[in-house]
């Protein structure tokens, strides 16, 4: 079977999960990048810190597109240093209205000590639901729904945000062929 590796719709490979619980926010991502049914890379780093480590980004989709968006978000955060929501909305507006940016194929989860947002090229800036203890759980990517379901199921049983996130990602990696267990984890204390 021949693959058109330039066709971004054929590329799969990310599960990003965010858990906000017990005074911590954890962003965890797997390392797999796939093209069709071929694993192209097993240890990609799709979770990163920006703005002197104060903001964590997890991205899904085309890597170059995600990096372009990450750089633009950094610029927005420099303009609005204490306003993560505003910076995300401003990026989403640019992403939606700019001819070049509109072509970018990526999604991002962005979190700081107080807030978490999911950003998409459709102009979405979504804040996840708040859980029982004031936290929130959200996920994106190929295995995102598996990780999200697992994290929600474990939420009442696991008090530690990082342990919960790791276990949920292990479950997603067991189910989703586009997700592996080479995790990158970044944590902030609220």
- What integer pLDDT is reported at residue 1 of this predicted model? 43
138 is annotated as an active-site residue: no
In this prediction the pTM is: 0.88
Determine the Cα–Cα distance for residues 186 and 163; give it in Å rounded to an integer: 12
| 17 DSSP β-pair partners | 28, 139
22-74 per-position pLDDT tens digit: 999 999 999 988 877 888 888 989 999 999 999 999 998 767 777 878 888 99
Tally Cβ neighbours within 10 Å of residue 22.
Answer: 18
Q: At what angle do helices 84-97 and 63-79 cross, to 10 degrees?
A: 130
DSSP assignment of 108-128 equals EEEE-SS-EEEEETTS-EEPP
* Choice among 14, 15, 18, 179 that is catalytic: 14
- Reported CATH class of domain 10-179: alpha beta
How sure is the predictor about 103, in pLDDT bands with cuts at 50, 70 and 90?
A: low
Report, as an integer, the average pLDDT of 137-153. 93
Decide which of 63 and 163 is more confident: 163
Instruction: Confirm if 69 and 95 have CB atoms less than 8 A apart.
Output: yes
Give the percent of the chain with pLDDT over 70.
Answer: 85
Q: Residue 4: is its pLDDT beyond 70?
A: no
The upper half-sphere exposure of residue 68, i.e. CA atoms within 13 Å in the direction of its Cβ, equals 16
Say how many residues make up the chain: 190
């Amino acid at each position: 079977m021949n693959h058109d590796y330039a066709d971004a719709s054929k590329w799969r490979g990310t599960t990003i999960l965010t858990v906000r619980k017990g005074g911590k926010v954890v962003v965890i991502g797997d390392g797999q990048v796939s093209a069709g049914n071929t694993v192209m890379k097993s240890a990609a780093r799709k979770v990163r810190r920006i703005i002197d480590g104060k903001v964590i980004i997890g991205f899904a989709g085309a890597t170059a597109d995600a990096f372009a968006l990450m750089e633009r978000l950094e610029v927005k955060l420099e303009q609005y240093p204490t306003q993560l929501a505003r910076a995300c909305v401003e990026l989403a507006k640019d992403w939606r209205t700019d001819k070049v940016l509109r072509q970018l194929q990526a999604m991002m989860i962005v979190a700081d000590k107080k807030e978490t947002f999911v950003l998409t090229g459709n102009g979405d800036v979504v804040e996840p639901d708040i859980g029982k203890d004031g936290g929130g759980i959200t996920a994106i990517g190929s295995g995102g729904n598996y990780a999200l379901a697992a994290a929600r199921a474990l939420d009442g049983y696991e008090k530690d945000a990082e342990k919960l996130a790791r276990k949920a990602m292990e479950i997603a990696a067991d189910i989703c062929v586009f997700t592996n267990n080479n995790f990158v984890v970044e944590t902030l204390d609220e």
